[in-house]
Amino acid sequence: MSNYRIRLAEVEDLARIPAIEAAAAKQFEPYVSQLEISVDHLSGLTPMTFLKRAQLEKRIWVAVLENQPVGFIVAKFLIESCFIVELDVLPAYSRQGIGSALIEICCEGARSRNHTQLTLTTFRYVPWNIPFYQQCGFEILPIERCSSELSAIVQHEARYGFVQKHRVVMRRILSRKRE
């Protein structure tokens, strides 16, 4: 296991985020036809303006190895939950606990803002997605049980071109922070 460190992203880290996101997205390329999307959907990177705002609002964390980010998680604080907008780890560093560690730090951030749940959307039929998130304590949340905010996110993704039947909403209930 590598000696990575998880911390809030600094301004200097943001320039490295697009390369991490692009490298991680390549892992989904074998599934584009099954997911009814194009490779272009995978190459749509999170806008830098969004990342800069997330950094200012302290809702983006990075996994750093030798002073270089190798993974990141960015969240959006909704009324009813903390929503994971993006979670990516460079493929060379996958399966080392970095993604799980990023989720845990995001849980801490959510708890510190008095959120009781962490939510996300992901691809339903990519073999590692749902099992990974289930190992991290997430459960599938049926769309009819989603808050209006989560439903709006799902609708936004559909307008972007993600086919709803290939997406899934997941939720992790957060226990109270131990004092």
Instruction: Per-residue pLDDT tens, the chain, 179 aa: give them.
Output: 468 999 999 999 999 999 999 999 888 888 887 878 777 777 667 889 999 999 999 999 999 999 899 999 999 999 989 999 999 999 999 988 999 999 999 999 999 999 999 999 998 888 899 999 999 999 999 988 989 898 999 898 888 778 788 889 999 999 865 44
The pLDDT of residue 2: 64
The pLDDT of residue 125: 87
The pLDDT of residue 59: 96
Residues 6+ positions from 168 with CB-CB distance below 8 Å = 121, 122, 123, 124, 130, 140
Task: Evaluate whether 84 touches 110 at the Cβ level (below 8 Å).
Answer: no
pTM: 0.91
The pLDDT of residue 47: 86
Secondary-structure percent of the chain, ordered helix, strand, coil, rounded to 5:
45, 25, 30
Cβ burial of 111 (10 Å; 0-12, 13-18, 19+) is middle
Q: Can you give the residue ranges of every domain in the chain?
A: 5-173
**Percent of the chain scoring above 70 in pLDDT:** 96
The pLDDT of residue 177: 52
**Helix ranges restricted to H, the chain:** 17-25, 32-35, 39-43, 48-56, 98-112, 129-135, 148-160
**Tokens of residue 55, six digits:** 């950094």
**Tokens of residue 57, six digits:** 């609002």
The CATH homologous superfamily to which domain 5-173 belongs is Gcn5-related N-acetyltransferase (GNAT) (3.40.630.30)
The pLDDT of residue 45: 72
Would you mind telling me the total number of residues written for the chain in this entry? Answer: 179
**Tokens of residue 17, six digits:** 């985020």
